[in-house]
Amino acid sequence: MFLFSKVRASHDSSTAEREAITITTLTERARETLNGAWLGTHTKINEMYPHQWGWDAPFLSMGWATFKPERARQELTSQLSHQWSNGMIPQIIFHDGEARQYFPGPERWQAHPHSGQDGAPTSGCVQPPLQAIGVRRVAQALPDGRDFLKWAYPRLLQWHRYLYRERDPDGRGLVYVRHPWETGLDNLPDWDGSLFGFELSDIPAYERKDNQHVDDRHRPDNEYYDRYTALVDRFRAADYDEAAIRNNCPFLVEDPAYNAMLCAANRALIDIARQLDRSATEPEQWFRATSQGLRDQLYDNGRFYAYDRYNETMLDDHESLMGYIPLFGGAPTDRQAQSMVDRLDAMGYFDTRYALPTTSPDDPAFDPEKYWRGPVWGFTNWLMIRGLSDYGFHDRARSIEQGSLELIQRHGFCENHHPQSGEPTGAKGFTVTAALFLERAQNNSCPKTDAPS
Ligand code: 2M8
């Protein structure tokens, strides 16, 4: 066993108590957490995020696949069934049509006409495209996995075609995001320059709901929400026409982490095509273009940088995990990967009690309690464990894994944690953390990331 064989914990007073919480017990608790959040067709993330989310759904499906593969199928089926006619898979699906203690809800987005004829309302932006990875994993767990692949494959192709057609209009091989929410790493300091670079006009009144669930100091400040909301209002005004948005959107960023996940998803698509005896030419071309785009255009001196298309500038003022997530997806050369790991070490990412802080402790914007500006997150740790393992950095992957496990043993399934104290700094009862725990516990030998077989 690679990662979960023995929990190496420091010998403080609670070590014995912690070690008593075995992987078997945690597995039961993780399953209970998922079962308790099942809504019949999909999983509620938790009370704070009471809907189905873009990249959370594939993560959840990987957890379900370990013990209830039929639910894993349903999770992805219900998400892919809400694909827009242009191929877009939306960031949020409001399955019951209600906002439910979440802002912005369907009324603010007004994206319903695009959400498919009978479908539930959705938001009008995207999140990281991990669906192909989820589909491939779930199909492995299903007795009729090939049927599921057949159903999902054309939908996945439409999704990636949308991304390359609408988000890479110049054929750079790199797709752009048009809102920090699209990155999934919403409040990284890297986005500040672009987000605060535009004039803010009057914003119709709105009421935040997120800070009714967790302490204000953990969430983005109001000045960020004003800008998040202003971007939503612009998308709505453009009636979700991508060309119109592109001409009028001051936030257009080529995010290396997003593109790395797209690389990994393209590799999964190639594999699915081969399993179905279909031509893999299109996803192969996508994979080549995006991995080359990442290497040639966004890499420099031990990390990747985002490019702000609107202001035509590299976003190089900050040091965050976004620069290293491309270890996942196979784009960096071995030499680049080695430099990235050297730089991760030099920038203090492994110096906190629990790795990996989302923003480097050496960055002036580092805040160990603030959303994406320091706390340790299951999503990013999962990507980094997989990426580091793929390039042979097993010791570092193992140390992240051990820290993550200890956090779960001490605090249960939380959204994120203070990288020194381990205290939860976000939402509790977080199903995605439970799902990722189940996925890692089952696949603890860390197979190569979605390499085409
Ligand atoms: C967080 O983002 C949402 C907006 O999408 C929010 O803050 O309201 C992020 O952590 C995002 O990555 C995640 O998908 C979502 C639901 O877990 O929450």
Given the DSSP bridges, would you call strands 303-304 and 299-300 parallel, antiparallel or unpaired?
antiparallel
Q: Which residue has the tokens 């189905």?
A: 52
| pLDDT single digits (tens) 206-224 | 999 999 999 999 999 999 9
- Asked if residue 356 has a cis previous peptide bond (ω within 30° of 0), the answer is yes
Q: What is the dihedral of CA 412, 414, 420, 421, to 10 degrees?
A: -50
Q: Among 80, 78, 72, 75, which residue's Cα sits nearest to residue 145? A: 72
DSSP letters spanning 227-276: HHHHHHHHHHHTTT-HHHHHHH-S--EE-HHHHHHHHHHHHHHHHHHHHT
Q: Among 180, 371, 151, 382, which residue's Cα sits nearest to residue 264? A: 382
Closest ligand 1 atom to Cα of 220: 7
Question: Active-site residue among 186, 282, 316, 351?
Answer: 186
**Run of H or E residues at 415:** none
Mean pLDDT (the chain) is 93
Contact 94, 82 (CB under 8 A): no
Give residue 280 CA to ligand 1 midpoint distance, Å. Answer: 32
Closest ligand 1 atom to Cα of 219: 7
Helix, strand, or coil (residue 393)? coil
Closest ligand 1 atom to Cα of 48: 8
The pick from 47, 53, 56, 227 for probing ligand 1's pocket by mutation, whose C-beta has the most ligand atoms within 8 angstroms, reads 53
If DSSP states are collapsed to H, E and C, what string results for 167-211? Answer: HCCCCCCCCCECCHHHHCCCCCHHHHHHHCCCCCCCCCCCCCCHH
**Run of H or E residues at 330:** none
**What is the C-alpha to C-alpha distance for residues 35 and 64, in angstroms, rounded to an integer?**
9
Q: For residue 177, what pLDDT is reported?
A: 98
**Edge-to-edge order in the sheet of strand 306-308:** 253-254, 306-308, 313-315
Angle CA 121–123–125, to nearest 5: 145
Contact 409, 18 (CB under 8 A): yes
Contact 310, 250 (CB under 8 A): yes
Beta-bridged to residue 253, according to DSSP, are 177, 308
**What is the C-alpha to C-alpha distance for residues 235 and 30, in angstroms, rounded to an integer?**
38
Question: Residues of 35-63 as b/e, b for ≥16 C-beta within 10 angstroms?
Answer: eebbeebbbbbbbbbbbbbbbbbbbbbbb
Distances in whole angstroms, Cα of residue 143 to Cα of each of 42, 69, 450: 20, 9, 21
The answer to whether 186 is a known catalytic residue is yes
Query: Which pLDDT tens digits describe the chain residue by residue (453 residues)?
Result: 344 544 444 445 456 556 558 899 999 999 999 999 999 999 999 999 999 999 999 999 999 999 999 999 999 999 999 999 999 999 999 999 999 999 999 999 999 877 765 689 999 999 999 999 999 999 999 999 999 999 999 999 999 999 999 999 999 999 999 999 999 999 999 999 999 999 998 999 999 999 999 999 999 999 999 999 999 999 999 999 999 999 999 999 999 999 999 999 999 999 999 999 999 999 999 999 999 999 999 999 999 999 999 999 999 999 999 999 999 999 999 999 999 999 999 999 999 999 999 999 999 999 999 999 999 999 999 999 999 999 999 999 999 999 999 999 999 999 999 999 999 999 999 999 999 999 999 986 443 444 443
Distances in whole angstroms, Cα of residue 207 to Cα of each of 36, 320, 371: 29, 30, 19
Token duo for residue 268:
């999964």
Treating both helix axes as pointing N-terminal to C-terminal, what angle do 378-390 and 431-442 enclose, rounded to 10 degrees? 20
Q: For residue 112, what pLDDT is reported?
A: 84
Give residue 374 CA to ligand 1 midpoint distance, Å. Answer: 16
Helix, strand, or coil (residue 127)? coil
Give residue 6 CA to ligand 1 midpoint distance, Å. Answer: 32
- Closest residue by CA, ligand 1 atom 5: 181
Distances in whole angstroms, Cα of residue 175 to Cα of each of 165, 166, 259: 9, 8, 7
Q: For residue 443, what pLDDT is reported?
A: 81
Give residue 219 CA to ligand 1 midpoint distance, Å. Answer: 11
Q: What is the DSSP letter of 121?
A: P
The answer to whether 406 is a known catalytic residue is no
Q: Among 371, 122, 146, which residue's Cα sits nearest to residue 276? A: 146
**What is the C-alpha to C-alpha distance for residues 363 and 357, in angstroms, rounded to an integer?**
11
Contact 51, 75 (CB under 8 A): no
**What is the C-alpha to C-alpha distance for residues 304 and 410, in angstroms, rounded to an integer?**
34
**What is the C-alpha to C-alpha distance for residues 281 and 275, in angstroms, rounded to an integer?**
14
Phi/psi at 52 (5° precision)? -100, 130
Question: pTM of the entire structure?
Answer: 0.95
Q: Which residues line ligand 1 (CB under 6 A)?
A: 45, 49, 53, 55-56, 91, 127, 181, 184, 186, 210
Treating both helix axes as pointing N-terminal to C-terminal, what angle do 131-141 and 256-275 enclose, rounded to 10 degrees? 40
The pick from 186, 211, 225, 231 for probing ligand 1's pocket by mutation, whose C-beta has the most ligand atoms within 8 angstroms, reads 186
